[in-house]
């Protein structure tokens, strides 16, 4: 839908003033109600219609009316937009909903692991309570939202409460289906929040819990779901580290919310809320900077903070947490400062400031500061070792960054990720590299969508061999890797079964002397199947028989075939073909046995 919709009036009263989004389920606009004195804003959703055929429209109309009834009930909750109206115009279906003034939760989440403001544990718990309350109501209505993500949670301007929007993907809880839902049917912004079972059409109520858990982890870590690594043995997300200040109890709750297997997750919002009640909100507060095991650096940080005006958890503070914990100087010179407050304290402060400069990307300044420490100081050996380490790390980081950047420009997305993962722990370089990582992951996901779509299309016409070839091209770094592994197993099995079926069809055609048709079936049997070798033997046999059949027909058409010619044809057939090997009944029995084994 293009900008020609701006200014258009629907149903004689709703005037389009802004285009919001073109999603999987339709187009969204902001409109004003011209019949209202103050021309209140509202949101209009035009549902996507794939055909204008009468039967299709009749089915869609019934589905549309059913969904609007559901939305009416959901709108009774104060944190869900109210349904104002629904109508059909020119064979298109429209929903009119309450417009929520505010901003998406996306604007509040840390935009980067080290360049953001990670939430405290108590803030995240408050978020969970707020959204779980909404989901508890939604699920009680027999509905699963299916697209919980930061973009669909709006912080309402008037009261600061979160409002859950965009119920375009809702499903009834009691609907069971074995249909595979292609990954390209999901918006890119939803990837990472969608649990594994939803990709294969087995959505559960706790699929929404998984998505909410991923949002909570993003708030704590500053990492989007696609940035998290997956344990290859358990398929579970690896999200907790020393840099994340969170209590063990709360961490356990979050981990259970995002279990790969939905049966291992919390089964309802009530269970999650009960678990959260057991946590004391006074414990587990996230510290702005936590330098573990180092009394000196905590003291130096406190002194430094007297003169700075950073927010509670500024990008620099978060970066320092990463850089200093990893740096060996933390343990190296801490002891000296405890023994001697001065002048070592001043020298350690200098090295601390040098470290901040290094993390901020100013290597020359960092080295210059570190070199100011006199050779007579007890901190001097540590300063010299740190300078050498910084220089080596900087060179390595620059090389790996350039390698990653080159790989990205050349379309080698996986190589870009591998090079980026080898960048040393430096805030400046990792910030630069993270941009490459984000771009590479987006490209990998887009590539995955295309490959999966092609695989589904080939599988739909029973070309499992080509479908498998497409699946093997999907990078293991893709978020759909689990789905790919499932489809590989499924299509391999179906390829074997189809191969046996094709062999059976060939036998049946040969049994009635239709050797040309039999050969066509045999030629469709792919390699790496259990009956491929048998098919090749039969292919030779049926080809010879086809030739023999053609010669016999040609001979029969001649007026007076000589006895010598007939004898020649018979002898050739005995030489080339073991006539006793052609036993259609035995062949078919063999195939039936293989089919039973496969199925």
The predicted structure's pLDDT at residue 358: 86
Q: How far apart are CA 489 and CA 468, in angstroms?
A: 9
Residue 6 neighbours by CB distance under 10 Å: 12
Alpha helices in 247-373 (DSSP H): 248-257, 269-277, 295-305, 315-326, 329-332, 334-339, 344-360, 363-371
- Catalytic residue annotation: 147
Fold of 103-277: Transferase(Phosphotransferase); domain 1 (1.10.510)
Q: For helices 532-557 and 481-511, what crossing angle results, to 10°?
A: 30
Residue 468 neighbours by CB distance under 10 Å: 21
The 3-class secondary structure across 345-392, one letter per residue, is HHHHHHHHHHHHHHHHCCHHHHHHHHHCCCCCCCCHHHHHHHHHHHHH
Phi-psi region of 31 (alpha: psi -120 to 50; beta: other; left: phi over 0): beta
Q: How far apart are CA 371 and CA 352, in angstroms?
A: 13
Q: 360 vs 35, 117, 543, 557, CA distance in Å?
A: 56, 17, 75, 93
The predicted structure's pLDDT at residue 66: 74
Q: What does the domain layout of the chain look like in residue ranges?
A: 3-99, 103-277, 295-441, 496-598
Provide the CATH number for the domain formed by 3-99 in this structure. Answer: 3.30.200.20
Contacts made by residues 412-420, CB under 8 angstroms, sequence distance 24+:
413/440, 413/441, 413/443, 413/444, 413/447, 413/475, 413/477, 414/440, 414/444, 414/475, 414/477, 416/440, 417/441, 417/444, 417/477
pLDDT in tens, 245-263: 889 899 999 999 999 999 9
The predicted structure's pLDDT at residue 126: 93
The predicted structure's pLDDT at residue 176: 40
Residues of the chain with pLDDT under 70: 1-4, 21-25, 37, 39, 50, 111-116, 168-190, 280-345, 558-599
The predicted structure's pLDDT at residue 383: 83
103-277 and 3-99 share a CATH fold: no
pLDDT in tens, 66-115: 778 888 889 999 999 999 998 988 888 899 999 999 999 988 888 655 55
Burial (CB < 10 A; 0-12, 13-18, 19+), residue 269, is buried
């Amino acid at each position: 839908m293009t900008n020609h919709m701006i200014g258009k009036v629907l149903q004689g009263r709703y005037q389009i003033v802004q285009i919001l989004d073109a999603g999987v389920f339709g187009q969204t606009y902001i409109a004003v109600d011209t019949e209202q004195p103050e021309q209140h804003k509202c949101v209009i959703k035009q549902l996507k219609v794939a055909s204008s055929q009468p039967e299709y429209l009749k089915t869609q109309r019934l589905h549309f009316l059913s969904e609007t009834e559901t939305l009416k009930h959901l709108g009774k909750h104060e944190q869900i937009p109210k349904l104002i109206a629904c109508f059909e115009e020119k064979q298109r279906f429209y929903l009119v909903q309450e417009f929520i003034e505010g901003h998406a939760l996306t604007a509040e989440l840390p935009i980067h692991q080290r360049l953001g403001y990670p939430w405290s544990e108590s803030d995240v718990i408050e978020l969970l309570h707020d959204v779980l309350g909404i989901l508890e109501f939604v699920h009680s209505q027999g509905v699963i939202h299916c697209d919980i993500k930061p973009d669909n949670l709006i912080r309402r301007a008037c009261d600061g409460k979160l409002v859950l929007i965009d119920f375009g993907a809702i499903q009834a809880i009691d609907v069971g289906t074995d249909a595979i839902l292609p990954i390209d049917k999901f918006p890119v912004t939803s990837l990472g929040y969608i649990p594994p079972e939803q990709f294969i059409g087995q959505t559960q109520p706790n699929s929404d819990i998984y998505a909410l858990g991923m949002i909570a982890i993003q708030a704590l870590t500053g990492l989007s779901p696609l940035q998290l690594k997956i344990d290859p043995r358990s398929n579970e997300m690896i999200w907790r580290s020393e840099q994340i200040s969170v209590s063990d109890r709360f961490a356990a709750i979050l981990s259970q919310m995002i279990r790969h297997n939905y049966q291992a997750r919390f089964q309802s919002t009530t269970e999650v809320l009960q678990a959260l009640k057991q946590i004391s909100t006074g414990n587990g507060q996230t510290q702005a900077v936590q330098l573990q095991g180092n009394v000196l650096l905590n003291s130096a940080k406190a002194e430094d903070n007297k003169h700075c005006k950073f927010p509670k958890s500024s990008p620099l503070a978060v970066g320092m947490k990463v850089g200093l914990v990893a740096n060996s100087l933390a343990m190296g010179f801490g002891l000296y400062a405890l023994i001697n407050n001065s002048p070592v304290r001043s020298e350690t402060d200098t090295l601390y400031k040098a470290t901040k400069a290094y993390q901020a990307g100013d290597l020359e300044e960092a080295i210059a500061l570190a070199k100011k420490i006199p050779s007579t100081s007890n901190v001097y050996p540590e300063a010299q070792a740190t300078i050498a380490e910084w220089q080596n790390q900087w060179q390595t980081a620059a090389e790996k960054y350039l390698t990653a950047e080159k790989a990205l420009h050349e379309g080698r997305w996986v190589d870009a990720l591998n090079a980026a993962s080898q960048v040393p722990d430096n805030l400046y370089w990792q910030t630069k590299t993270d941009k490459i990582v984000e771009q590479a992951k987006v490209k990998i996901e887009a590539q995955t969508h295309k490959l999966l779509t092609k695989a589904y299309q080939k599988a739909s016409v029973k070309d499992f061999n080509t479908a498998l070839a497409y699946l093997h091209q999907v990078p293991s770094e893709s978020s759909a890797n689990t789905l790919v592994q499932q489809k590989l197993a499924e299509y391999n099995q179906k390829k074997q079964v189809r191969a046996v079926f094709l062999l059976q069809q060939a036998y049946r055609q040969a049994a009635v002397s239709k050797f040309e048709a039999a050969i066509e079936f045999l030629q469709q049997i792919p390699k790496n199947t259990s009956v491929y070798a048998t098919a090749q033997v039969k292919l030779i046999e049926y080809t010879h028989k086809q030739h023999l059949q053609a010669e016999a027909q040609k001979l029969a058409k001649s007026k007076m075939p000589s006895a010598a010619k007939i004898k020649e044809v018979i002898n050739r057939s005995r030489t080339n073909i073991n006539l006793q090997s052609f036993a259609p009944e035995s062949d078919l029995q063999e195939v039936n046995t293989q089919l039973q084994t496969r199925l």
